A and B are shown apart, each in its own frame.
Chain A
Amino acid sequence: MKSPVYLDYQATTPVDPRVLDTMLPFFRENFGNAASRSHSFGWKAEEAVEQARADIAALIGADAKEIVFTSGSTEGINLALKGVAEMYAEKGKHIITSQAEHKAVLDTCKHLEKQGYEVTYLKPDKEARHSAEQVAAALRPDTILVALMWVNNEVGSVNPIREIGKLCHERGVLFFTDATQAVGKVPVDVQADGVDLLCLSSHKIYGPKGVGALYVRRRNPRVRLVAQIDGGGHERGMRSGTLNVPGIVGLGKACAIAREELASEAARCIELRERLHKRITSALDHVHLNGSAVHRLPGNLNLSFAFVEGESLLMGLKDIAVSSGSACTSASLEPSHVLRSMDVGDDLAHSSIRFGIGRFTTEEDVDYAADQVIGAVRRLREMSPLYEMVKDGVDLSTVNWQGGH
């Protein structure tokens, strides 16, 4: 077992060795520019790019012509939201999204608000999910776009995408989903699921960083976008710039592997996740699961350890790489906006840890992590005035706290 144990697969994933092997020739002998039409260097690069485009499309049930290469999901989100907003401004200026979205969506929406668009930020339920009924209630005649993520990156909740997609199509509103955490992990079929625009990112699915794709529907309806990066007119004018051929080849291979292994990998991740969860909860009391027990990303476990603060817990977990929804890990003193939007309670939000399990996680890793967590939580609870009060029968909600910050 390697130490520290990597359990942060929602932050990023290692490149699969099969992906790296596929990429290497495109740094060496096949270094051509995919836009070069006059020689074999260019043709080889173009052929590889088109193979990747087909592999990506196949994974999500799209047509290869509907794939636009990007530098990752942040760019895909910007292109989808700003591109649609600009293109359809005459039809309306209202967008619906969620408080639990990734910052890339929230900040892009903030930008659009400054440009005169109106954005409704739906509040998720306690499991960080949205229903189609909730979306329906927020639709207006001037709504042009619904933007809701497929899988939440912090708590792993899976939205009922098919129902939301069906609603949007019935009502003639475009539907964009940030599927960064979903593609390759849960079944995605843009036709059956009624998705019009979807972004994905290579580094979350065992491909290299700095490359991704945006799916843009071409039929029923044909979605049009205003390009956000102008130049040589690459990617049918939607995204100019010389293509990152090795990165795209890697993303394509990553998608081909994911398509083959999705089902078996999901089953394995769920097994490891449940093993980790059981081990921890059989040794510790007052452990809360954040997100849904049922509608959940296979490789995500997000737990709050009551009466223990997240950053101090991370300090005690030196040999495992996880992340915390606690305030102190970021420069701000606010706990995660996702946990807040779910009404987890700031005290529990401060004590949350996200465990991300993936392709290279072993049983041994999970058992080691569980032992580390149990030891650290026990030690910190011995030191916690809150745990002592609760053990003495004090109801913390009735305490009049002094001098909070």
Chain B
Amino acid sequence: MAYSDKVLDHYNNPRNVGSLDKNKASVGTGVVGAPECGDVMKLQIEVQGDRIVDAKFKTFGCGSAIASSSLATEWLKGKTVDEALEIKNTQIVEELSLPPVKIHCSVLAEDAIKSAIADFKSKNGAADSTKKAS
């Protein structure tokens, strides 16, 4: 299979590989996919105020899955949470020139973004409501 130069670049020089402390209230973690399907993405964001100041990923999957998540972390940094929710898988497909059989990789990356943001929101929502109870 032929890969686009951008996929190869992200595969060879992935941006923002690593992990953030998932127990911190300012960190949202999303893990999507399943090993038996051949791809699992973990995507994390760190939020200050309403802005994403850091993003990290780890991905088990094909080169296009690695590139999609690497690209996602690049795009997330500096965006507000609301802006991040606007990222669409089709933008990833376009940027990386993914062929039809690889579109699911971009869908997974969008799911990972949404899941990380949901985790961040529920943590902070939950932190507010449980403060009084304890």
Contacts and interface: CB of A to CB of B under 8 A. Distances in A.
Q: Give the bracket for the number of chain A residues in contact with chain B.
A: 20 to 34
Interface string A374-405: 00000000111111100000001000011111
A309 interface: yes
B32 A402 contact: yes
A327 interface: yes
B133 interface: no
B115 interface: yes
A333 B60 contact: no
Contacts of B3: 315
Given A328-B38, A383-B66, A405 B33 contact: yes
A371 interface: no
Q: Tell me whether chain B's interface is mostly helix, strand or loop, or mixed.
A: mixed
A401 B34 CA distance: 5
A243 interface: no
A388 B58 contact: yes
Interface stretch (B39-47, B72-80, B89-97): B39-47
Given A385-B58, A401-B34, A402-B32, A311 B63 contact: yes
Contact of B60 (A315, A335, A384, A403): A384
A311 B60 contact: no
A288 to B, nearest CB: 14
Contact of B38 (A307, A316, A333, A402): A333
B115 A385 contact: no
B36 A309 contact: no
Given A315-B11, A347-B36, A383 B17 contact: yes
A387 B40 CA distance: 11
Interface in A303-340: 307-309, 311-312, 315-316, 326-329, 331, 333, 335
A345 interface: yes
Contact of A401 (B14, B40, B63, B66): B40
Contact of A312 (B31, B37, B41, B66): B66
Which of B41, B60, B65 counts the most A-chain CB atoms under 10 A from its CB? B60
B120 to A, nearest CB: 16
Given A401-B34, A402-B115, A404-B33, A331 B59 contact: no
A350 interface: yes
A308 B111 CA distance: 21
A351 B45 CA distance: 28
Given A329-B1, A331-B101, A404 B37 contact: yes
B57 to A, nearest CB: 8
B60 A385 contact: yes
A107 interface: no
A346 interface: yes
28 contacts: A307-B60, A308-B60, A311-B62, A312-B65, A315-B8, A316-B11, A326-B62, A328-B1, A328-B38, A328-B101, A331-B101, A333-B38, A333-B101, A345-B36, A346-B35, A346-B37, A383-B17, A383-B59, A385-B41, A385-B42, A386-B60, A388-B58, A402-B111, A402-B115, A403-B111, A404-B33, A405-B37, A405-B108
Interface of B: 1, 3, 8, 11, 14, 17, 19, 31-42, 58-63, 65-66, 101, 104, 108, 111, 115
7 closest cross-chain pairs (CB), A and B:
A404-B34, A346-B36, A401-B34, A347-B35, A385-B42, A311-B62, A385-B58
